[in-house]
């Protein structure tokens, strides 16, 4: 049987994952690390790096300069919402950063949906490069007993 344990000790059933991929019933989750640089390649800043840039620009008075949401909210209320969005767009859309290997692999899979909490558009750009028409959808996610529960409005069952 083709099973392994993931980092948390949960069993991974590879044949089921492959079958779900073939049936277009697999929804990958792309974490923040996918957009960071590795092996010397240029990547995007982490959330804490973004927070530190914002904190410097708005002279954030707190000690928690790595807390992105807190610093961004402070910036927005003390400086300007438009300015913070403009700065984030600039930091997250540099022309020299292209979708990475994981983005390209996922974009070429027979899937229609990738869940992510990332602020960048690298996954959307990878879909476009592979000839797919990306769109953003927002969903409510609930975690019950360490399991992700959500309603996927675009799936008919």
- Across the chain, which has 157 residues, the per-10-residue mean pLDDT values are 65 84 86 71 80 94 94 93 88 83 91 82 89 77 62 51
User: Which residues, in sequence order, are CB contacts of 91 under 8 Å at separation 6+?
Assistant: 44, 45, 50, 53
The predicted structure's pLDDT at residue 75? 95
CA atoms within a 13 Å half-sphere pointing along the CA-CB vector of 27: 10
**With a threshold of 0.75, does the pTM exceed it?**
no
Domain ranges of the chain: 3-41+96-150, 47-92
The predicted structure's pLDDT at residue 138? 66
Q: How many CB atoms lie within 10 A of CB 67?
A: 18
The predicted structure's pLDDT at residue 56? 94
The predicted structure's pLDDT at residue 157? 42
């Amino acid at each position: 049987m083709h099973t392994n344990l993931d980092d948390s000790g949960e069993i991974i059933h590879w044949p089921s994952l492959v079958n779900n991929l073939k049936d277009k019933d697999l929804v990958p989750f792309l974490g923040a690390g996918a957009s960071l640089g590795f092996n010397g390649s240029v990547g995007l800043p982490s959330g804490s790096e973004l927070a530190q840039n914002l904190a410097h620009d708005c002279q954030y008075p707190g000690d928690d300069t790595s807390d992105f949401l807190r610093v961004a909210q402070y910036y927005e209320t003390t400086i300007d919402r438009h300015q913070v969005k403009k700065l984030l767009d600039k930091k997250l859309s540099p022309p020299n950063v292209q979708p990475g290997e994981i983005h390209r692999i996922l974009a070429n899979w027979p899937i229609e949906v990738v869940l992510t909490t990332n602020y960048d558009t690298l996954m959307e750009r990878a879909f476009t490069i592979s000839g797919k028409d990306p769109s953003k959808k927002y969903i409510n996610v609930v975690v019950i007993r360490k399991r992700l529960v959500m309603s996927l409005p675009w799936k008919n069952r």
